[in-house]
Amino acid sequence: MYAIGVEGETRPSACIVNTVVQITSSPMTVAVSINHDNYSNERIKETGIFSVSVLSEDTSGTVIGALGFSSGRDSDKLENLSYKVLRENVPVLRENICCWFLCKVVNSVETMTHTIFIAEVKAGSDDFTGVPMTYDYYHRVIKGRAPKNAPTYQPIDEKSDNSPQMKYVCPICRFEYKDSEQKIPFDQLPDDWKCPICGVSKKEFKIEG
Ligand SMILES: Cc1cc2nc3c(=O)[nH]c(=O)nc-3n(C[C@H](O)[C@H](O)[C@H](O)COP(=O)(O)O)c2cc1C
């Protein structure tokens, strides 16, 4: 799991992806797949540069919520996060990441829905720390989902969830709170409790099932 940092028109911006892969080692190149509708796609095409912050298992779900479910076109997604802006004007996260690197686009391939940017790694952090968060960990441990613009998006098949019990579902990121899996039943959570993934308040949750 990664945060892609881009230079916005008026402020730095970032989005979550799970599609960074290494392509070659000399020169060091990587590829990333970014949806045509994402602001980050537009900005990478414009500037030819982006950063990659490698999220660690300690990265809070709220970081993924802040960057993965809304667009930098509409809001300052980094507002409540700790980050620094590199000389090249792209942001990298400061807290709970394993490392970061700076990428310059050298080629791109268009698919029906996504652009695959191929980029050379130009610089990076000196240190590597922690355990990188895999997409599986995000699903299994953080219990997060992927939104529509993620290549891995899957519409929720309500019929495939055979569990008869009620669940409380976040309207933004679809995080599910099932009483049977938690220590505290949903209705006993404090009023200021928020979705652990995207920060939506308790009262916005919808009952399903
Ligand atoms: C777990 C997860 C994985 C994601 N993977 C990708 C991805 O690989 N490519 C992509 O374009 N969007 C991906 N997304 C969705 C973007 O992060 C999301 O559409 C974001 O709102 C785009 O922000 P932007 O418009 O500021 O660029 C993912 C989101 C999550 C939560």
CB 124 less than 6 A from any atom of ligand 1 = no
Residue to substitute in 4, 17, 50, 133 for testing ligand 1 pocket (most ligand atoms within 8 angstroms of CB): 17
CATH top class, domain 2-140:
mainly beta
**Confidence (pTM):** 0.87
Distance 147 CA to ligand 1 centre (A): 7
CATH of domain 158-208: 2.20.28.10
Nearest CA to ligand 1 atom 4: 17
- pLDDT, tens digit, 9 for 90 and up, residues 124-157: 999 999 999 999 998 888 777 778 888 888 776 5
User: Could you tell me the residue ranges of all domains in the chain?
Assistant: 2-140, 158-208
Instruction: Collect all residues with Cβ–Cβ distance below 8 Å to 78 and sequence separation of at least 6.
Output: 11, 12, 13, 14, 66, 67, 91
Relative to the CA of 19, which ligand 1 atom is closest? 8
Relative to the CA of 35, which ligand 1 atom is closest? 11
What's the sign of the alpha-carbon dihedral 7, 12, 15, 21? positive
Residue 173 has pLDDT above 90, yes or no: no
- pLDDT, tens digit, 9 for 90 and up, residues 13-54: 999 999 999 999 999 999 999 999 999 999 999 999 999 999
**Tell me, what's the pLDDT at 60?**
83
Query: Which tokens belong to 107?
Result: 């080629």
